Amino acid sequence: MRFSGAALLVGVSLLAQPSWAQMGPGGPPPAVGVVEARRQPVTESSEFIGRVEAINRVELRARVTGFLEERLFQEGTEVDEGAVLFRLERAPFEAQLDQAKANVASAEAQLTNARISLARARELRTTGTGTQVALDNAQAQERTSAATLLGAQAAVRVAEINLAYTVISAPFAGAIGRSTFTPGNVVSPSSESLATLVSQDPMRIAFTIPQRTSMELRARYEGRGGTAAVVVRIRQADGSAYPLPGRIDFIDTQIGRDTDSILVRASIPNPIRSGMQRNDIGARQLIDGQFVTVLLEGAEPVMAVTIPRAAVAQDQAGFFVFIVDAEGRAQRRNITLGRSTAEMAVVESGIAAGDRVISEGIQRVRPGQPVNAAPAGARPGAPAPGRPG
């Protein structure tokens, strides 16, 4: 029997290939990429949504009724503590004060005359020429005049206070917003606020934490110093990280009944940015009322076993990974995850440092199956470092 040259080449090629039966029922071992679980310092982090708040905030209002005479600030700028912001017309209140002082002078004169009359009535009563009724009337008149003087003096004090209310000053240093009224308007205690003043440095970050999460955080940090072991960092709306850290200074004493969460506040610096002046637009990064992402981080890193997040899978039983054992077989390990990121997973239990964890090709692996392992990122089927090719 004769064979063509093509048939002979096909036969030789088939003989040169390994038998599938020799490789097991599932074909050749799948190629996978592995990484070594490492123990390294990890900064634990928890993320929440918060809002920036001014520590001091006041709505400036008129405390007397009068014409708004002057506005002495530029809207949107920062003012010093005690700076005069508004002036109301003073003349009517000055007139009231002068009238009150005149009433005091009149009451003092009446009291002086009443005391003279009382002294005369006592003298006449002593000599027997005066009556007891006249003495009693003189005493009553003296007391009435003394009370009238006290009332007049109180009216002077009220007039002085009302006159002082015509000048509206900043109770603390901060940034002042728009003015609701322009000069010439009549304002009163029932009017809208004239403007709003908010402090600038430091600011406060307010955020809520679910009760379960708060208990987890307490268990994590109570042995390390409590809130002193926590650093507060924030990300702004554009995703940029704010450079300065804050510290927790308040934890509410009640759990919200509707949300089952607790309010936490932190104080964070808000200085003028480098190279900018106090009243430049955007001189300070944090603004009262803005939303931010709050990150609670441990002040000191802790040692933890870490692996790439891509190596972690999940099913109904929970999180798990595949490791490659000493015989080159894939073995499932159920794990407990700590606080992880999108790139790195912190493993609290289930594997140890030095275990070879499959991070590439995990979808092709079955428990107990032999695998062709190579360092993650290497060419499939390439030998591991230190092994002959």
Average of per-residue pLDDT across 263-282: 87
Output the pLDDT for position 26: 54
Position 9 pLDDT exceeds 50: no
The torsion angles phi and psi of 196, rounded to 5 degrees, stand at -115, 135
SS3 85: strand
Output the pLDDT for position 157: 96
The closest of 230, 235, 215 to 266, measured between CA atoms, is: 230
Q: What is the pLDDT of the chain when averaged over all its residues?
A: 84
Dist CA 360 CA 303 (whole Å):
25
Position 303 pLDDT exceeds 50: yes
pLDDT, one tens digit per residue, over 14-50 is 333 443 333 445 568 888 989 999 888 777 777 889 9
More reliable by pLDDT, 123 or 266: 266
State whether the Cα torsion 23-25-31-37 is positive or negative. Answer: negative
Output the pLDDT for position 1: 40
Q: Which residue has the tokens 């006449």?
A: 124
Output the pLDDT for position 268: 94
Position 54 pLDDT exceeds 70: yes
Output the pLDDT for position 4: 44
Position 10 pLDDT exceeds 60: no
More reliable by pLDDT, 117 or 27: 117
Please give the domain boundaries of the chain with CATH numbers for all domains: 28-40+303-389 (2.40.420.20), 45-54+201-302 (2.40.30.170), 61-81+170-198 (no CATH), 91-164 (1.10.287)
**Which stretches within 128-181 are classed as H helix?**
132-164
Output the pLDDT for position 25: 52
Position 265 pLDDT exceeds 60: yes
Output the pLDDT for position 39: 86
Output the pLDDT for position 299: 64
Output the pLDDT for position 275: 84
Output the pLDDT for position 60: 95
Dist CA 234 CA 47 (whole Å):
9
More reliable by pLDDT, 316 or 299: 316
Residue 94, amino acid:
E
CA 288 to each of CA 55, 67, 252, 379: distance values in angstroms, whole numbers, following the listed order? 9, 31, 21, 53
Residue 305, amino acid:
V
Termini Cα distance of the chain: 42
CB 227, CB 248: distance < 8 Å: yes
Q: How confident is the model at residue 333 (pLDDT cuts 50, 70, 90)?
A: very high
More reliable by pLDDT, 333 or 227: 333
Output the pLDDT for position 378: 58
Output the pLDDT for position 173: 94
pLDDT, one tens digit per residue, over 207-244 is 998 888 888 778 777 777 777 778 899 998 888 889 99
Output the pLDDT for position 297: 77
Least confident range of 37-46, 170-179, 343-352:
37-46
Output the pLDDT for position 94: 94
